[in-house]
């Protein structure tokens, strides 16, 4: 596969330090979504884009929870957000106590990966790739105890290298 055929760069490259929050403080699903959206610089500074994204995320949660179990939630809009962003965006947040997120196993979510993409292809590729990475219990455990944003990036790079 040549590089021009790739739908996007690696997930670790889509996750800047500024999009990592190891101390989420929200106490509800809606507040977590708002806190994660606040990590996206180009959207946080634009009230209309922020409202649009939050509305899309909340609509998706009403349809079916993005809590996938094992303490993980993958908030994302139901469809690609054409026109809202011009490149794929990944945000990571960790909540010490966890938030009830409606996961099938009933476990509160502590690890959150917010995915935003401008195209359906990128949206689905991101979802598939992050889902594959998070099947690894060692990665999940490491993300629960990691102490720096830079280490989150390294953990993601290492996990992707194993795929």
- Residue 43's φ and ψ, nearest 5 degrees, are -95, -40
- Residue 69 in contact with residue 48, Cβ under 8 Å? no
Catalytic residue among 76, 87, 95, 123: 76
Helix 29-37 to helix 47-63 angle, to the nearest 10 degrees?
140
DSSP conformation class of 86: S
Known catalytic residue at 76: yes
- What positions carry a catalytic annotation? 76
């Amino acid at each position: 596969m040549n590089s021009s055929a790739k739908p996007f760069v690696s997930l670790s490259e889509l996750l800047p330090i500024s999009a990592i929050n190891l101390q989420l403080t929200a106490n509800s699903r809606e507040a977590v979504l708002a806190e994660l959206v606040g990590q996206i610089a180009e959207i946080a500074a634009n009230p209309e884009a922020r409202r649009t994204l939050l509305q899309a995320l909340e609509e998706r949660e009403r349809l079916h929870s993005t809590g996938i179990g094992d303490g993980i939630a993958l908030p994302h809009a139901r469809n690609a957000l054409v026109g809202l962003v011009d490149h794929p965006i990944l945000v990571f947040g960790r909540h010490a106590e966890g938030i009830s997120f409606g996961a099938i196993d009933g476990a509160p979510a502590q690890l959150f990966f917010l995915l935003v993409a401008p195209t359906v292809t990128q949206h689905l590729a991101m979802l598939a790739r992050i889902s594959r990475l998070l099947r690894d219990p060692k990665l999940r455990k490491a993300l629960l105890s990691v102490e720096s944003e830079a280490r989150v990036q390294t953990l993601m790079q290492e996990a992707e290298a194993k795929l």
